[in-house]
Copies of this chain bind each other. A is one copy, B any other.
Amino acid sequence: MDMILRIIETTGFANLQWSNIIMIVVGCIAIYLAIVKNYEPLLLLPIGFGVIVGNIPYLQGLPIGVYDTVANGAPQNSVFSLIYWGVTSGIFPPLIFLGIGALTDFSSLISSPKSVLLGAAAQVGIFVTYLGALMLGFTNQEAASIGIIGGADGPTSIFLSSQLAPHLLGPIAIAAYSYMALVPLIQPPIMKLMTTLKERKIRMKPSRRVSKREKILFPIIVVIVAALIAPGSLPLIGMLMLGNLLKESGVTDRLAKTAGNALLDTCTILLSFAVGASTQAVRYVDGVNVGFLTPRSLGIFFLGLLSFGIATFGGLLFAKFMNLFLKDKINPLIGAAGVSAVPDSARVVQHFARKYDKDNHLLFHAMAPNVAGVIGSAIAAGVFIAIFR
């Protein structure tokens, strides 16, 4: 009888709290959005499942959760903590960038280099939010990690947090991926607000064809320039461009294939799951609750949304500004794609423009600021790393 009581004590039922139940419901909602609404399912589904797993309570002392490491006093590093190490050490994001590089075609950017500026303008959101986070009392390191959410790039956000503010990694990662998934809901209202009907109907002429040589030179040029300007961006940009070179060289197809499939998928599953599992609702360290369900997380979510909005806003505004000087006007909508969130925000632009002129295909044009946005936010992350480390 005594034994049965002891076993019941070890079950999760005995330790279940309301906050855990709330988080489990949140996890289920993420899975629902992934499957039914098809919002970034490759990320939201494992994250949602991770949230459920991470919020099942267990007796203190069992090495199960992502925070149960020998360093934290557990008798053994738990399996989930070993997976989570791939996140906190910062190694998963660059490997994911390697795979993304092996899948991305930068032709659009090469054929219209001026679109790069739109990718730069959207990063204004990062720095404005950094200021906002400082105002709310976050430290420099924390503020930078929160601001980067506006870069709309999950791996970049996670990488920066892992380097500057590992204790905020959970909410920042969740916020970044959530807003990326919600791009089709967040961006259109801002696009409507910022553009006139006439602007939305601007057609752009087809880009020139890009030669194989340019595609091969591109990753080499980008890595040298970006890393000289912001060496802190080297892990991300270096891997992104290595992957792209493997793809474009034409002589390393099998490496590009593995980088863009098995390696990318493995890192995606493990990173997303571990990030999800790191969102324990309540977690005490030295008597202080540093869990996920705290006002701090709410602040981060609010600032993240702000960051996203300002980034979209900045891209649109700068596109209109560029049109003052350009002979061949660009459609300002493609400025919204500067946030990155590849390729979702480019698709949103395409979809939005076709509502007003169904033969106006902006997808290819929007891809240029879109991929420039990836490079831009990696550089922004590099700047923060250089200053705050």
Contact = CB atoms under 8 A, between A and B. Distances in A.
A328 B289 CA distance: 54
A265 to B, nearest CB: 3
Interface in A224-244: 224, 227-232, 234-235, 238, 241-242
B31 A245 contact: yes
Contact of A59 (B75, B98, B231, B383): B231
Contact of A255 (B59, B61, B78, B269): B269
B249 A10 contact: no
B389 A251 contact: no
Most chain-B Cβ atoms within 10 A of its Cβ — which of A35, A91, A257, A269?
A269
A163 interface: yes
Contacts of A61: 389
In the A-B complex, the 4 residue pairs with the smallest Cβ-Cβ separation, listed nearest first, are: A58-B231, A258-B265, A12-B228, A41-B251
Given A10-B230, A12-B228, A64-B231, 7 more contacts: A7-B387, A10-B387, A45-B245, A45-B251, A49-B242, A53-B223, A246-B269
A389 B57 contact: no
Interface string A45-79: 11001001100111101111000000000011111
Contacts of A79: 89-91, 94, 235
A228 B49 contact: no
Contacts of A266: 258-259, 262-263
A28 interface: yes
Interface string A303-331: 00000000000000000000000000000
A252 interface: yes
Determine which residue in A231, A241, A268 has the highest number of CB atoms from chain B within 10 A of its CB, and name it. Answer: A231
Looking at A75, A91, A242, A273, the one whose CB has the most chain B CB atoms below 10 A away is A242
Interface string A346-383: 00000000000000000000000000000000000001
Given A49-B245, A228-B56, A232-B64, A91 B82 contact: yes
A249 B12 contact: no
A353 to B, nearest CB: 26
A343 to B, nearest CB: 16
B75 A389 contact: yes
Contacts of A259: 265-266, 269
Given A266-B262, A386-B59, A389-B63, A235 B80 contact: yes
Contacts of A113: none
A302 interface: no
A11 interface: yes
Nearest to A262: B262
A38 interface: yes
A176 to B, nearest CB: 19
Given A250-B35, A265-B259, A52 B273 contact: no
Nearest to A245: B49
12 contacts: A7-B387, A10-B231, A12-B227, A13-B228, A31-B220, A31-B245, A52-B224, A53-B223, A56-B223, A58-B231, A78-B235, A258-B269
